């Protein structure tokens, strides 16, 4: 029998499943609406888009928290009234003590996220991120490393004393070294961008030290298998027509939109496919592949791809995302140790239909 989780316990667990630091800087992710604490969560409702129909469903099913892949609050709200549908979502959520959490592009980036699920529609393949994510912080403190050598102990002590007075200096170390047959002391330190200016200004006062100074930019390491979009290499090439049928089956769609690349046909082999769930124009643009797979692209970006011999499959925005929720439910059930009831929205659907 499932118990419950307090929201203050559940939100960190959700953040641990997919770090919000992986989300794009423009995104609005995390806990967006919070009922007054303490707030117990017994039922979590998963949806791709939080519409008023889905909110009514959440109320009827006694959901305590809604995980909406797309953030229902994106542009800042200047008021919370009954006038607009997004304001009404907030009002109803608070009236019924329902929290709202949105992961959006954090779920796009993680290895076990939306784009990984979408890639399964291509068949057996290996994939790498089109735009790899970097770690949220440097492996050590500071953004730069400064190294220099000094051969005069007395003068070095004066310089080190002044350096220690500069704020945001980290990991200051000294090491005896032999340079060109002479005993010297090598100084290494990490510092912030602001402190770097002061350190360089100090060292520039001594031409000998300044000439022996090296400044290194500390790069944030890339995270393996993490980032936006995926470049997929199929284990065996397949014809464009076969890929179309695989995608339709995976997404459970009767129709997709297709633009065939210049010089290509439905029988042309597809070996590499670049994909991005949702709106993929900015992520896919300029990528070398036989096929682009996404929900939507601008007219002119499609023209560019076709002119470069790249075929394009468009499935509508949320159709490339919604199917992931079933997989997400299973993963979260394990991640949250089966403590709460996780259900899928039955009212959530893409607003566009083929008629």
27: pLDDT strictly greater than 70 = yes
Does residue 349 sit within a domain?
Answer: no
pLDDT reported for residue 131: 96
Does residue 354 sit within a domain?
Answer: no
- Asked whether residue 326 falls in the same domain as residue 306, the answer is no
pLDDT reported for residue 219: 86
CATH number, domain of 199, equals: 3.30.70.120
Domain termination residue (choose one: 167, 195, 217): 217
pLDDT reported for residue 41: 98
Q: Which residues carry a binding-site annotation?
A: 70, 108, 317, 321
How many whole angstroms separate alpha carbon 180 and alpha carbon 254?
A: 74
- Asked whether residue 270 falls in the same domain as residue 163, the answer is no
Tally of structural domains, the chain? 3
Lowest mean pLDDT, pick from 3-12, 55-64, 144-153, 187-196:
144-153
- Closest to 227 in 3D by CA, of 16, 18, 12, 15: 18
172: pLDDT strictly greater than 60 = yes
Q: Which residues carry a binding-site annotation for a divalent metal cation?
A: 70, 108, 317, 321
Does residue 128 sit within a domain?
Answer: yes
Q: Domain range spanning residue 80?
A: 5-104+322-344
Does residue 352 sit within a domain?
Answer: no
Does residue 282 sit within a domain?
Answer: yes
pLDDT reported for residue 1: 56
Q: Over the stretch 144-154, which tens digit does the pLDDT of each residue have? A: 999 999 877 77
How many whole angstroms separate alpha carbon 277 and alpha carbon 316?
A: 10
284: pLDDT strictly greater than 70 = yes
Stretch 52-64: mean pLDDT, rounded? 98
Q: Alpha carbon of 268 to those of 164, 241, 261: distances in Å?
A: 65, 8, 10
- Asked whether residue 116 falls in the same domain as residue 68, the answer is no
Domain termination residue (choose one: 187, 217, 247): 217
- Closest to 147 in 3D by CA, of 112, 185, 195: 185
According to DSSP, the residues that pair with 274 across neighbouring strands are: 231, 292
Q: What angle do CA 67, 31, 275 make, to 5 degrees?
A: 55
């Amino acid at each position: 029998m499932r118990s419950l989780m307090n929201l203050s316990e559940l939100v960190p667990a959700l953040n641990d499943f997919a770090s919000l630091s992986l989300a794009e800087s423009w995104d609005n992710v995390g806990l967006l609406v919070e009922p007054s604490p303490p707030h117990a969560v017994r039922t979590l409702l998963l949806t791709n888009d939080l519409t008023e129909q889905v909110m009514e469903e959440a109320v009827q099913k006694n959901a305590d928290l809604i995980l909406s892949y797309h953030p229902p609050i994106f542009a800042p709200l200047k008021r919370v009234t009954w006038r607009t549908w997004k304001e009404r979502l907030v009002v109803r959520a608070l009236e019924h003590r329902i929290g709202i959490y949105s992961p959006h592009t954090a779920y796009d980036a993680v290895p076990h996220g939306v784009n990984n699920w979408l890639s399964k529609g291509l068949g057996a393949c290996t994939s790498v991120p089109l735009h790899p994510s970097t770690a949220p912080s440097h492996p050590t403190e500071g953004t730069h490393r400064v190294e220099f050598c000094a051969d005069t102990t007395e003068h070095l002590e004066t310089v080190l004393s002044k350096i220690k007075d500069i704020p945001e200096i980290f990991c200051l170390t000294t090491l005896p070294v032999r340079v060109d047959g002479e005993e010297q002391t090598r100084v290494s330190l990490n510092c912030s961008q602001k402190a770097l200016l002061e350190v360089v200004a100090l060292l520039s006062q001594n031409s000998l030290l300044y000439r022996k100074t090296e400044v290194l930019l500390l790069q944030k390491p890339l995270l393996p298998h993490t980032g936006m979009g995926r470049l997929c290499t199929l284990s065996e090439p397949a014809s464009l027509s076969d890929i179309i049928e695989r995608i339709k089956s995976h997404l459970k769609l009767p129709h997709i939109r297709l633009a065939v690349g210049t010089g290509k046909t439905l029988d042309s082999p597809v070996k590499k496919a670049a994909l991005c769930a949702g709106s993929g124009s900015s992520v896919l643009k300029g990528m070398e592949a036989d096929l682009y797979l996404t929900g939507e692209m601008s007219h002119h970006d499609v023209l560019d791809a076709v002119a470069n011999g790249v075929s394009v499959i468009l499935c509508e925005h949320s159709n490339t995302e919604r199917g992931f929720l079933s997989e997400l439910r299973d993963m979260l059930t394990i991640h949250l140790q089966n403590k709460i009831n996780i259900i899928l929205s039955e009212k959530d659907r893409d607003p566009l239909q083929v008629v």
